Structure 1
Amino acid sequence: MKASGGILAVVGAVLALLNAPGASRAADVLRIGEGPFITGGGFLVADQKGYFKKLGIDIEKRMFIDGQQAVPALIAGELDLTFMTANASLFNSIARGAPLVVVLDRGNNKAGHGYTVINVSKEMADAGVKTLGDLGKLKGKKIGVSGTGSINQYVFSLALQRAGLDPRKDVTWVTNVPQPDLMKMLSQSQVDGTDLAYQFGFFAEKNGWGPMIATGDKIDPDGTIGVYATRQALLREKRDVLVRFAMAYLQGAKEFNAASVAPDQHPDIVDILARTTALQKPETVKAIAPYWSYVNEDGLPNVGSIMKMQDYWADYYDFVEKKVSAERLFDLSIAKEALARLEKEKPFGK
């Protein structure tokens, strides 16, 4: 039986809508691993402002307190994309065959936007540890960090070396302790120094548990804080979806960066970050600006910084068993294509 011209017209109109750019389709679901950290501000802004939906992507979030915890879910196919830090375990996982590839920047210690911070105990501050140059006084002391081979241990190690110490033998590392617990340990002088996310360093200083003496951008300018990684197969299977995700994300990152230097001019961004991170209060979000980290607006991860980290963990600490090449670690084409399309198509009118 032939369909009438009217029915054919309706069917054609429906198909046109389904195939239109930005149309929501089942294939356009992305399962994302995220955390309640302000370094994810680009993603949080894009999500809350509906930018992913505008480009036809439904986001399914799974929250993790640490990017390392999301890696098994990504490898198992339970996630399509996840945040993670460039730590020693990432390099080891890829060297052992994990099908992971880094595709986007998620935050770095750009000058003036340092996200990591070194705090020392009040006792050490009273003993004269006031600046990076004073860290030599930490010889024989305990340094607390959230993970072995973490970005926090990396930054603190570099700072100790500048002060003339060998971080492998001149201090005792207290590792794998959650950052909120490290704040308490600092207050009780159970650790003498620690490297924290800025908000935790801010809370520690504000509560009189130990002052901040230097931000990460003074120690490792442009050093990577976080990245987004996906499975290699998805670069083929969901390439267009990943590109559209990156387009929305870059728009969110641009607005996030602008708000970090002028939070009072962007109350909508401040409100989003207060609601979606552990900071909770707009006043706190504004108080720690501009130390939210910085997201590269072209989306490109800081390749040189990450390769430098791998060299450090392999050559200095022996934490990395086998180095992997930059060609194996990164795929920069997603970010490049997303930026080109964003500038050409201007889907957000900006």
Structure 2
Amino acid sequence: MRHRRAVLLALLPALGLLAACTGGGGPGGADGSTVRVAHVPSTLFAPLYVAEARGYFAAQGIKVELRKVRAGQDAVPLAASGKVEAVVAGFSAGLFNGVSQGLGVKVAASMGASTGERPSPTALEVAKRLVAAEKMTDAAGLRGRRIAVAGGAGAAGGYQLAATLRASGLTLKDVTVVNVSIPDMRTALADGGVAAALAPAPFTTAMEAAGVAVPLAVPPKGTTATGVVFSRAFTGKPAARKFLTALRKGAAELQGAGRTSEQNLAILAEATGQSIEVLRNTPPYQWDPQLTPDTGQLMKQQDAYRAAGLLSGKSATADDLVR
């Protein structure tokens, strides 16, 4: 119990994120009909927005309060402390450390995964001047270089970078990962602050159009580092089952041509604040229709963080992590 309390105390600074949340300020979920969901607006989480806009949560008899936070992976303590019932976010090294030490959360669903195709919704963008000067053809040329990742090596992007580098025989220890916010990556590449950046669309498109960067590599097909985290108390409630049922209906709408249908793009534009024109030109992610947590990816992610020296103590098992 003392160990678990220490974990929560170490994570308390993230609870300040509540000040940045939107939505009702009072307790939610007490009667099982309201589910408070912390999220960072992103097309990665399209099933959430589609399910809400199409009325699938309402059809299940639950009300969803979407609460925006600044950093999704840092919002997990909100679920552990009962401030929200669910977090739709990236999985960070902190999640694995916390779960292994008794943090009261469970991974309930997966979210967007890489397609492995080009153009890709996420890409390793390398400074164009560097590629031209060194005739760099793959990520192996980045050994010893500075690479920008939002949130740093321990964020979800750190694992995506590790998966992307693996094909070139590199690990996170072979590069210097620098924490740079996504909007600032283009400037960091242009002024030489970093050699490369792992960035999502539409920022990748903007970098390339400006002649600042070129995509050198993309995460392998199926790479995923995001999903839905439930508070342990919420996991067993009927509302949790209803929430997932509605979420899966949202995922079903995003299969095949549904990923780029005009109606779904309009929903995503409203939810993320991006223009529909930008989204039309943004490569989409892919979603498992059942949003089943990918335990294989979770274990690979944990291994990547441990190899980079970002985890302490024992490793969490798949049963520890997944509901």
- Which TM-score band (shorter chain)? 0.7 to 0.9
Q: 1:41 aligns with which of 41, 46, 50?
A: 46
Q: Tell whether 2:122 aligns with 1:116.
A: yes
Where does the alignment leave 5 or more consecutive residues of structure 1 unmatched?
A: 1-24, 332-350
Residue equivalent to 2:187:
184
Residue equivalent to 1:22:
none
Residue equivalent to 1:228:
228
Q: 2:249 aligns with which of 251, 262, 286?
A: 251
TM-score after normalising by structure 2: 0.83
| Cα 1:272/1:97, change in 2 over 3 Å | same
Residue equivalent to 2:100:
95
Equivalent-residue separation in structure 2 for 1:52 and 1:166 (angstroms): 41
Q: 2:295 aligns with which of 300, 303, 309?
A: 303
Q: What secondary structure is seen at the aligned counterpart in 2 of 1:143?
A: strand
Q: Across the two proteins, how many residue pairs are aligned to each other?
A: 291
Q: Tell whether 2:142 aligns with 1:138.
A: yes
| Cα 1:155/1:27, change in 2 over 3 Å | closer
Deviation at 1:242, TM superposition (A): 1.2
| Cα 1:157/1:26, change in 2 over 3 Å | closer
The 5 Å alignment of 1:188-207 reads 188-207=191-210
What amino acid is aligned across from residue 320 of structure 1 in structure 2?
L
Residue equivalent to 2:308:
317
| Cα 1:53/1:129, change in 2 over 3 Å | farther
Residue equivalent to 2:109:
104
Residue equivalent to 1:56:
61
Equivalent-residue separation in structure 1 for 2:269 and 2:257 (angstroms): 13
Equivalent-residue separation in structure 2 for 1:271 and 1:102 (angstroms): 29
Checking the alignment, whether the CA contact within 8 Å between 1:120 and 1:129 is kept in structure 2 is no
CA deviation map 1:185-226 (0-9, x unaligned): 112221110111232212211222212222223xxx212131
Q: 2:269 aligns with which of 261, 265, 274?
A: 274
Equivalent-residue separation in structure 2 for 1:323 and 1:258 (angstroms): 37
When Rg is computed on C-alpha atoms for both structures, the one with the higher figure is 1
TM-score after normalising by structure 1: 0.77
Equivalent-residue separation in structure 1 for 2:89 and 2:304 (angstroms): 19
Deviation at 1:128, TM superposition (A): 4.4
CA deviation map 1:298-321 (0-9, x unaligned): 12011101111112222x212111
Deviation at 1:271, TM superposition (A): 0.8
Checking the alignment, whether the CA contact within 8 Å between 2:162 and 2:304 is kept in structure 1 is no
Q: What secondary structure is seen at the aligned counterpart in 1 of 2:253?
A: helix
What amino acid is aligned across from residue 306 of structure 1 in structure 2?
L
| Cα 1:299/1:167, change in 2 over 3 Å | closer
| Cα 1:222/1:129, change in 2 over 3 Å | farther
Q: What secondary structure is seen at the aligned counterpart in 1 of 2:84?
A: coil
Where does the alignment leave 5 or more consecutive residues of structure 2 unmatched?
A: 1-29
Give the RMSD, CA atoms, in angstroms: 2.1
Equivalent-residue separation in structure 1 for 2:288 and 2:226 (angstroms): 11
Residue equivalent to 2:214:
211
| Cα 1:87/1:253, change in 2 over 3 Å | same
Equivalent-residue separation in structure 1 for 2:39 and 2:53 (angstroms): 14
Checking the alignment, whether the CA contact within 8 Å between 2:106 and 2:229 is kept in structure 1 is yes
| Cα 1:87/1:260, change in 2 over 3 Å | farther
What amino acid is aligned across from residue 82 of structure 2 in structure 1?
G
Checking the alignment, whether the CA contact within 8 Å between 2:47 and 2:251 is kept in structure 1 is yes
